[in-house]
Structure 1
Amino acid sequence: MGSVANFHEPLAERLGRLGTETAYAVALEAGKIKDTGKTVYPFHIGDLNFRTPKVVVDACKQALDDGFTGYCPAAGIPSLRAALADHYNQVFGLEYSASNVSIQSGGKPGIGKFLMCVCNEGDEVLFPSPGYPIYESMARFLNTKPVPYCYKETEDGFVLDIEDLSSKVTNRTKAIFLNNFQNPMGVAHTRHEFEDIAALCIEKDLLVFSDDPYYQIVFSDFPRNDFLHIAKLPGMLSRTICDYTFSKSFAMTGWRLGGVLGPKWLIDQVTKINTNDEACTTHFVQVAGVTALTDPAAAKFTKDMVSDLEERRDVLYDVLNEVPGFKAIKPKATFYMVCNVTEAMSKMEITDIEKFRSKVLSNTGVSFCTRAHFGTPIAGETEMYVRFAFSGVTVDQIKAAGKSLKPYISQFF
């Protein structure tokens, strides 16, 4: 047998362009501190400490007992495709049918498949920054140029900088990634912002990838007249693809179930990629998904969960704003809260936000993510932000975290 001493791992160059979700690195660091016996308050990961609705679990068990364990159509089982189309039609007043739906194993796969379908090498896509890091990662991986657009902080939260967005469009721009009820900032776009984006897309002939994980997690202070999907605006249904996931609304993060909705010419190509990739999304999980979308007990679960999350939001907002140098921004949706910590970092004489995060974690047990985990920063950013996820902590944990965080930060003032 020949020597393997000179063997080199033959990895493709494209892997060097593939990013990750660095929030998981925070989880590892927090885990090591927890292993020492210290209490950790886990605000870093957007996972839920609610159990999947029993009616959905029971439907999955029944599907297994009934033998739904083999292959199914690459586009998804007809009943789930129809249920998801009906759901969007009822919630947003759209006009989808089952043929406009391709079922996916979660929300993430739709991102890369959309890019594979519409972008050639050198094309550009606009993505929100701060934003979900997989937009940028998958664009780079597929040799598409990701171009960030920004939001502006106001007294009432963050708003889209439409001038910045418009200025980034070139003759190579193919699409805009839009994440209403946004991660990490909890941005809830206004009707006016949607209209501006739609006008830009029509003028420049752009597609929209609407990432829709959080529209079922909207709090009571959100103005309902702004509850709108961009696909509903004139001229936008044919140029919008929607990315849905069951993960957030039904506490099904580990089930890996989602779907994309859009014009049939594009959905058919997404399904072709399904055939070449995973073949199909797990059959019995899809059966349970129908129950999630159609059973009143599942809808009640979501309503009750949102009520609980709103209480956590309100408590966390008060707790963080009692910490010197912390300025929390109250979201009207999602389970994320962004906090401006510029003053606290200045008082601690720290300029690196990751060093700030690590120092706070090691001294207080309070674990959160920073601006650095949500896309490449845009030139000219001066304010320092961190994100607290309140999806996996109780009200008592939030209060206890404040009791640990406040005295530690206060000593620098």
Structure 2
Amino acid sequence: MKLANRVKTLTPSATLAITAKAKELKQQGHDVIGLGAGEPDFNTPEFILEAAEKAMRSGMTKYTPSGGILELKSAIADKFKQDNGLDYTNSQIIVTTGAKHALYTLFQVLLNDGDEVIVPSPYWVSYPEQIKLAGGEPVFVKSLEKNEFKITPDELAAAINSKTKAVIINSPSNPTGMMYTKDELEKLGEVCLKHNILIVSDEIYEKLIYTNDEHVSIASLSKELEAQTVVINGVSKSHSMTGWRIGYAAGPERIIKAMTNLASHSTSNPTSIAQYAALAAYEGDENTVNRMKREFSERLDKFYGLINDIPGITCIKPKGAFYLFPNVAKAAEMGGFSSVDEWVTALLEEEKVALVPGSGFGAEKNVRLSYAISIDLLEEAAKRIKRFVLNHQS
């Protein structure tokens, strides 16, 4: 039996592929250090676990509205008001089975065959695949390392044509950890308004910023931009709740209504217990979030210095998320490797350090290293990477 054409062009996730290889080596007894993780290594805070148990004991185990329980929507609206200065009603918010599902559902209701979505590169691996699954075409705009991997208004404008439906803005970014300033977002917003294209603002790493830079949601800059933006967020990264699968989207009511209708025929609703856990996350204080953030900041400072000290590797210090995205092309070349992908494979085989090649993110010269593991393991990983590079210098 033939598979549907829509799945034949899908590219396997680079992050999942390297994770699977690392797991295989671990099962064989090897001491593997995995730097591919896209999730915090902390457990979900205790008060959230307690709220989930209470919800189960109270019988909150049935179907919920497809777009999420009203209490959680209201808590999300309060979060938008307090953190971003945005006023959304419950009808402008949909709770989804993770932020990834929010993006998937958005593209399904937004795109017709041949519609184009501008995807700044480097990009999160699922953006182009989700666009293709919806019949759309991802149009990659290469951002420059000297610009901190951020696209400029001129680069955005040059990529727009009559088929352009939307642009994705991910700040702070996966995989680079970079973030746009208010001024940069205003200029990008002007281009989007001029050409009437939707902005998909992925803000999932909003709470994980380690500088004095302020996170700015592009939707908050004007009423016109708010009306032309769908904000994607969730509790996965901020509250270490990746497995709970609760994300959400907020934006124009007609788009959110269409997403809710689609969800009613796909997932029915996000898991009821997880919704009450997310409600507790937003109703509680942010002490645990801030503790996790401080730990990530300490790891970043330590790990960045160690990686940037390795010959042939250069790295811009990220401002958010929990990834380094160094350029290792020179190290690979010095070692006689034909590509960074080959360098990554050899590193895993020889030194048992698993990291994700940048080719999966549209950046063939870079690699993504997660620092969502202990400082001790980060130090050991850096030691192994440095040894590998020095051993392969020609």
Q: Which TM-score band applies after superposition, normalised by the shorter structure? A: over 0.9
Query: After TM superposition, which residue ranges in structure 1, 4 or more long, deviate above 6 angstroms?
Result: none
Contact 2:15 2:356 in 1 (8 A): yes
1:303-333 per-position Cα deviation (integer Å, ceiling 9, x unaligned): 0000000111111111112211111221111
Of 170, 174, 186, which aligns to 1:183?
Answer: 174
Aligned-residue identity in percent: 28
- Tell me the TM-score normalized by structure 1: 0.92
Partner amino acid, structure 1, of 2:213: P
Work out whether 1:99 is the aligned partner of 2:88. Answer: no
The higher radius of gyration belongs to 1
Alignment equivalent of 1:14, drawn from 6, 22, 25:
6
The one-letter amino acid of 2:132's match is R
Q: Could you give the per-residue CA deviations for residues 32-89 of structure 1, whole angstroms, max 9, x where no partner exists? A: 2223322211101212210000000000000000000111111110000010011011
Separation of aligned partners in 2, 1:313 and 1:125? 32
- Give the deviation of 1:91 after TM superposition: 0.4
CA offsets 1:357-406 (integer angstroms, 9 cap, x no match): 0101111111111111214x6xxxxx711110111x10011111122221
Once the two structures are superposed, what CA deviation does each residue of 1:14-38 show, in whole Å capped at 9, x if it has no partner? 1113334221110111122223322
2:265 alignment counterpart: 276
Q: Which residue of 2 aligns with 1:387?
A: 368
> Equivalent of 2:360, from 373, 384, 400?
373
Superposed CA offset, 1:154-194 (max 9, x none): 2x843323322211100110100111100001111012210
CA distance in 2, matches of 1:38, 1:311: 28
Structure 1 counterpart of 2:228: 239
State the SS of the aligned residue for 1:334: coil
The residue number in structure 1 matching 2:33 is 41
In the TM superposition, 1:74-85 aligns within 5 A as 74-85=66-77
SS in 1 for 2:8: helix
Alignment of structure 1 residues 7-406 onto 2, 5 Å: 9-154=1-146, 157-219=148-210, 221-224=211-214, 227-234=215-222, 235-296=224-285, 299-375=286-362, 384-391=365-372, 393-406=373-386
- Structure 2 letter corresponding to 1:240: T
TM-score by length of 2: 0.96
CA distance in 1, matches of 2:166, 2:248: 19
Cα RMSD, aligned residues only: 1.4
Q: Contact 1:19 / 1:134 at 8 angstroms: preserved in 2?
A: no
SS at match of 1:160: coil
Helix, strand or coil: the match of 1:126?
strand
Q: What residue identity is the alignment partner of 1:333?
A: G
Contact 2:141–2:155 under 8 Å retained in 1: yes
Match of 1:22, as an amino acid?
A
Tell me the matched-pair count: 392
| CA positional deviation for 1:207 | 0.5
For 1:340 and 1:276, how far apart are their aligned partners in 2?
A: 44
| Aligned-partner residue type, residue 196 of structure 1 | K
CA drift of 1:122 comes to 1.0
Q: Which moved more, 1:136-145 or 1:399-408?
A: 399-408
The amino acid that maps onto 1:228 is V
Q: Which runs of 5+ in 2 are unaligned?
A: none
